Amino acid sequence: MADKAVVIGISGPSSSGKTTLARLLQRIFNGAKTPDSHLNTFIIHEDDFYFPDDKIPYTTTASGETIQDWDTAAAIDLPFLSQALQYVRKNGTLPPRLRSKEDQNDKSDSGIPESTIQELRDLVQSRISGQRSIAFLEGFLLFAPPQPDHVLREVHDAIQLHVFLPAAYGLVKERREGRSGYVTVGSAPGPVDKGVEVEGEKEETTEIDLEAEDDRPPQNFWVDPPGYVDDVVWPRYVRDHSWLLIADEGQDTGDAETGADADLVRRVGDGTRVRTDVGVQVAPGAGSAGMDTVLRWAVDLVLGFYLESPQ
């Protein structure tokens, strides 16, 4: 049986425009109709899968300060995210559990005029067919390198189209440091299955009741401490995407170890040189193109993928 939803993953460094692009695409594709078609679209925010505040890991910066690290895979409930994506593909709807906390954070003006949005909406409506939903998943850490045992493998494989927005270090730093902060997700939902037997021992699971409403209030409000971009955000991004970014000196970055972060950051430079031969669709302009250009490219990409994928 064909999936009832197509999952489009939109990733890139912090402040690269992922959420803005996802919201624009959702507006353009949602509700497009023909006599035999009606698109339903929605957004999934990776930030809604953070562990609660007291379970976010700590890291020690180069200056010796110990702070929470919100920019590592260990801060995200990846089994929960993978489970949610499988639910979306099977049912074609967003599970009730995923009432977004991310949508309470600051929203910036996309700068895209309504006339452009209507033009692209008309384009989509003139070409769509079928009855499936489209889910736009946006997040800073969604894609995995080729090895089968990578921590992000199940999430990566649940995404059918992988879209990457590069952004230069200077832009990431300026935008991130200009934000007021972030609403956090609250207490974690309890597992419905306390464990399974594995070789005679009980192994804990994190299966979530996705049908239950999530009425948890925001738990807190995170504000980046001084130096957080240079100490955590950018080095983590470069390390976790070392397989995708192109380093100087003609060297493939491979899988970097934590101890090599400083050298890797130096070799990657501003981070705008990205591989295009690993199954990831890279936005035009290497991070310098305006949102209008990126949006038009993304609409063509998503529409083509939707029309070509099995119905």
The string of pLDDT tens digits covering residues 204-246 is 445 667 666 665 555 577 788 899 999 999 999 999 999 999 8
pLDDT of residue 107: 55
More confident residue, 208 or 305: 305
Spatial distance between the Cα atoms of 94 and 233, rounded to a whole number of angstroms: 29
Write down the pTM of the prediction. Answer: 0.85
Mean pLDDT of 252-262: 54
More confident residue, 82 or 201: 82
Q: Which residue has the tokens 């309890």?
A: 190
**Least confident span in 40-49, 62-71, 178-187:** 178-187
Among candidates 43, 8, 5, 39, which has minimal Cα distance to 23?
Answer: 43
Measured CA distances, 292 to 73, 120, 162, 306 (Å): 31, 11, 20, 21
Q: Is 304 left (phi over 0), alpha (psi -120 to 50) or beta?
A: alpha
Mean pLDDT over each residue of the chain, to the nearest integer = 83
pLDDT of residue 95: 85
pLDDT of residue 195: 32
The contacts of residue 140 (CB under 8 Å, 6+ apart) are: 11, 12, 13, 14, 18, 46, 71, 237
pLDDT in tens, 150-193: 999 999 999 999 999 999 999 999 999 988 777 775 554 444 33
Mean pLDDT of 275-281: 96
